[in-house]
Structure 1
Amino acid sequence: MKSKSKSPFKRLFTLRLASLKSGLFWRTFILLGALTTTSMTAWVGMISVVQHDPQVQQISAQVVSVVTITHAALTHSAPELRRELLFDLVSNEGIRVFTLEADDQVDPPPDNALMPDIQKLVRAKLGQDTRFSSKVNGVSGFWVSFKIDDDQYWLMLERERIRGLTGIQWLGWASVVSLISLLGAALISSLVNLPLRRLTKATRAFAQGMRPDPLPETGPNEILEANRSFNHMVLQLQQVESDRAVILAGISHDLRTPLARMQLEVEMANLSDDAREGIQSDIGQMDAIIGQFLDYARPTEKSSFIDVDISELVADVAHDAGRMPDVRVKTDIAPDAHAMGNATDLKRVINNLVENARRYGKTPGQDITEIDIACSVKGAGAAKRVTIEVQDHGPGVPDDQIAQLLKPFTRLDTARGQANGAGLGLAIVDRVMQRHGAELTVRNRDGGGLSIQIVMKAA
């Protein structure tokens, strides 16, 4: 059974996802982003390791210095001046001194990687009974205990004086650096891929039959050589195209003129009816083969594309096919199916499909060839498509040989009966459809026979 086609939104999402996975810009961007992130992580780790010991030494020396100076100031000051001294320490230095009581509510010291080493160094200077806390009686700070004679005191420092960057600060700086790095990666990726985008755009335009503007022959040597080679190739192919047009005109004149003369001589010669019919058949076949060569080699200029009424065109072909005595045509043609293309080439394509079905699609055991011709319109907006389908009821083609049908000069005699022509019928169809940006699908029909489907973007 025929599988259901994807919705336009699913198809668009799939294309976007494929572009994200396979696009060179995104690959370059992701690689640069990953490199930047890895480098920044390694840098942060290295800074943390290298900075650990100096930071521990600095904070420990600061704490020991403050406690020692405070201890000396309180010890050597007159008792009546200590209150004023404590006030100066609070207002000028941010240092507070409190009496250590047995019922003080003491929280553990700050939990960070520096604190164990700070405690070890400070206790080595101030004594092993020195205590540390992050909060005493609900007041947050950096608390250190010390003694004056038999009395114990708390000295509180503001946390900002003894701590480095916090985790949130590290995260903030890392975010800023990451954002700048990603913007730089996007800019670099865009600059790296700009020449490739130009080359891709020019190649696509040339493949569609248009003449692209010459690529700039500037930049790095690799880009310069690639653009120069492409420009040279375009000029050579245009010259080849011009030469081919001259050759086609010569073939059409130089080969068909002798055939016409031979046809006239056969008509006038004294031959039997069987001999005359045989020679005329051979001449007609030679003329058809020449026509196939010309059709296959003839270019389709995109500038010749117009709005073609596909419904009317398919109906005309079906009407002409129905007039043949050995053909029975069944049609299902939707009205108002329009597409951009070359009307002559499109009609030649459909005639080729019908002729292929007439020759090779005869139902076994019958003298009449049944051909089903359908035309439909599906979708809406940019996803609107015109579908043309030609089916026969013949023996079909082995599944492993279907791909061979579209190759030039290929005739599957064992699968499709007698062979006439040069084997270019479906190759011409495929070539013309590629130039129209259409999709060509060949498959065996359910119930026997061959089904050929063309899907074009609707006008």
Structure 2
Amino acid sequence: MQSRFSRLFSLAALKSGLFWRTFLLLGVLTTLSMSAWVYMISVVQREPQVQQISAQVISVVTITHAALTHSAPELRRELLFELVSNEGIRIFTLEDDDEVEPPPDNALMPEIEALVKAKLGPHTRFSSSVNGMPGFWVSFNIGEDSYWLMLERERLRGLTGIQWLGWAGVVSVLSLLGAAAISSLINRPLARLTSATRDVAEGRRPDPLPEKGPAEIAQANRSFNQMVEDLAQVESDRAVILAGISHDLRTPLARMGLEVEMANLSPEARDGIQSDIAQMDAIIGQFLDYAKPTEASSFVNVDIAALLQETANETARLPDVKITTHIDERAHVLGNGTDLKRVLNNLVENARRYGKTPGTDVTEIDMRCDVKGMGAFKRVMIEVQDHGAGVPDEQIAQLLKPFTRLDAARSQANGAGLGLAIVDRVLQRHGAELTVKNRDGGGLVFQITMKAL
């Protein structure tokens, strides 16, 4: 049997969930929208940004050229100092041996150069660094003399690629957070429905789902609540019907038993009839055990170790059974003690009937109980093993189905074929996991995993 716990915590199941699919689709849509938006903005603002930077460079060079040309020679030093201190503009003489770096390598620079040279002349030079001093450098001439004009890069800088990427990253993160919130909002009603469905599958009655929200969700929840009510009613009706059948059948059976005792019959005939009556009474009891509801609200702290030891002591008194035990006394679970005792008795009885050691009339049963894990992952592991012939692997799943017997050898036993079905049904109601497999060396292993207290 597949593990419910492994299915619940499986990473693959998590990644394939509706939340992650919705989040991924919204994330992809948001990313594509952001990319298109950034591209459109960069294209739309490209020409205005080129025009703005070019106009600023042309204006600064023209004004500086005019100021230096028309100022008195003795005032030029003061003018240059004022340009540096107030405008961040520096003027240097252009020398042939200047170490000149190429202009900034970006998509706007070629267009800026073209516009500036169209206004200032084709001899205008550009540089990103002169003599190791970084900046935005533009050359101009006054008469026969050539000069460098340096502007601070911050004055001409628009949004760089890194800045665009940063802003796009911020917006993308906010968009993804919004996508996660939307996905969670969409997924929450379905998650509640999934959890409630799991409760029904494990034999528990879930709390009613809220019948509000979008019309489709409200209608689905309303239908599910109605289904739960109908199932509960069917379960109740079945219990009432089976109880009535039990009463109606056991009364004539008791009368038949009394008449057999009073009848003038041979001992062989009397024993045979009484055996048949006892078998019919046992079958009725199995039907009632299978249909009996178990409410989780009635669960209490059960000393499963004590139940196992009690079952082992009772089994050890049988003449045809040899039982060995290894029981951890710390084993406690939340459940119904009577139902769990019935589970243990059914497993031991199944082993006693079908697990006889080949070549002998003795059944060897190994009973083991261990407590494993810690905290929320603490589990009680119970194993009941026999040393019989086992069953074919492909038929193991059939063992837990009601009214099922696998071969003629098993059909010799009395009963309706509900023993293991009762075990599986009770364990499902306790949220436990039952695993059935063949034992190495022969026989069957019944392994029960329950949450420990």
- Structure 1 length normalisation: TM-score? 0.88
1:303 to 286, 291, 297: 297
2:47 to 47, 53, 62: 53
1:440–1:455 CA contact under 8 A, matched in 2: yes
**What letter corresponds to residue 303 of structure 2 in structure 1?**
D
Larger RCO (CA under 8 A, 6+ residues apart): 2
Compared CA separation, residues 210 and 54, structure 1 to 2 (3 A)? same
Structure 2 partner of 1:6? none
2:204–2:429 CA contact under 8 A, matched in 1: no
2:382–2:448 CA contact under 8 A, matched in 1: yes
Compared CA separation, residues 248 and 414, structure 1 to 2 (3 A)? closer
Determine whether 1:182 maps to 2:182. Answer: no
1:358–1:369 CA contact under 8 A, matched in 2: yes
Cα distance in 1, alignment partners of residues 407 and 10 from structure 2: 43
The one-character-per-residue Cα deviations of 1:263-301 (angstroms, maximum 9, x if unpaired) are 223333333444333333332222222222111111111
1:397 to 380, 387, 391: 391
> Matches of residues 63-102 of structure 1 in structure 2 within 5 Å?
63-77=57-71, 79=73, 82-83=76-77, 85-102=79-96
Structure 2 partner of 1:228? 222
Cα distance in 2, alignment partners of residues 127 and 86 from structure 1: 23
SS at match of 1:391: strand
Identity %: 77
1:398–1:415 CA contact under 8 A, matched in 2: no
The one-character-per-residue Cα deviations of 1:87-146 (angstroms, maximum 9, x if unpaired) are 554455433332211122222211222222322333333333321111222322111112
> Matches of residues 121-132 of structure 1 in structure 2 within 5 Å?
121-132=115-126
Aligned residues: 449
1:327–1:368 CA contact under 8 A, matched in 2: yes
Compared CA separation, residues 59 and 381, structure 1 to 2 (3 A)? closer
Structure 2 partner of 1:373? 367
SS at match of 2:412: coil
Structure 1 partner of 2:129? 135
1:361 to 355, 361, 371: 355
SS at match of 1:48: helix
> Matches of residues 251-262 of structure 1 in structure 2 within 5 Å?
251-262=245-256
Cα distance in 2, alignment partners of residues 85 and 313 from structure 1: 103
SS at match of 2:181: helix
2:350–2:419 CA contact under 8 A, matched in 1: yes
1:173 to 167, 173, 177: 167
1:28–1:189 CA contact under 8 A, matched in 2: yes
2:203–2:428 CA contact under 8 A, matched in 1: no
1:337–1:386 CA contact under 8 A, matched in 2: yes
1:396–1:416 CA contact under 8 A, matched in 2: no
Cα distance in 1, alignment partners of residues 450 and 235 from structure 2: 26
Structure 2 partner of 1:288? 282
Cα distance in 2, alignment partners of residues 188 and 382 from structure 1: 30
Structure 1 partner of 2:421? 427
Tell me by how many angstroms 1:246 deviates: 1.7
Mean Cα deviation higher: 67-76 or 246-255:
67-76
Cα distance in 2, alignment partners of residues 257 and 174 from structure 1: 82
Tell me by how many angstroms 1:361 deviates: 1.0
Structure 2 partner of 1:334? 328
- For structure 1, list consecutive stretches of 5 or more residues without a partner in the other structure: 1-10
Structure 1 partner of 2:447? 453
Cα distance in 2, alignment partners of residues 275 and 401 from structure 1: 38
Tell me by how many angstroms 1:395 deviates: 1.0
Tell me by how many angstroms 1:340 deviates: 1.6
**What letter corresponds to residue 457 of structure 1 in structure 2?**
K
**What letter corresponds to residue 437 of structure 1 in structure 2?**
G
Tell me by how many angstroms 1:202 deviates: 4.2
Cα distance in 1, alignment partners of residues 203 and 411 from structure 2: 37
**What letter corresponds to residue 220 of structure 1 in structure 2?**
P
SS at match of 1:413: coil
Tell me by how many angstroms 1:180 deviates: 1.9
Tell me by how many angstroms 1:73 deviates: 4.2
Cα distance in 1, alignment partners of residues 206 and 260 from structure 2: 51
Structure 2 partner of 1:439? 433
2:325–2:366 CA contact under 8 A, matched in 1: yes
Mean Cα deviation higher: 425-434 or 14-23:
14-23
The one-character-per-residue Cα deviations of 1:215-269 (angstroms, maximum 9, x if unpaired) are 3322111111112112222322232233223213212201222222222233333
Tell me by how many angstroms 1:20 deviates: 4.3
- Structure 2 length normalisation: TM-score? 0.89
1:98–1:154 CA contact under 8 A, matched in 2: yes
Mean Cα deviation higher: 18-27 or 181-190:
18-27
Mean Cα deviation higher: 427-436 or 208-217:
208-217
Tell me by how many angstroms 1:434 deviates: 0.9
2:242–2:287 CA contact under 8 A, matched in 1: no
Mean Cα deviation higher: 28-37 or 422-431:
28-37
Structure 2 partner of 1:315? 309
2:137–2:148 CA contact under 8 A, matched in 1: yes
**What letter corresponds to residue 383 of structure 1 in structure 2?**
F
- For structure 2, list consecutive stretches of 5 or more residues without a partner in the other structure: none
1:395–1:416 CA contact under 8 A, matched in 2: no
Compared CA separation, residues 340 and 366, structure 1 to 2 (3 A)? same
Mean Cα deviation higher: 422-431 or 194-203:
194-203
Cα distance in 1, alignment partners of residues 376 and 218 from structure 2: 37
> Matches of residues 195-274 of structure 1 in structure 2 within 5 Å?
195-204=189-198, 212-274=206-268
1:411–1:419 CA contact under 8 A, matched in 2: no
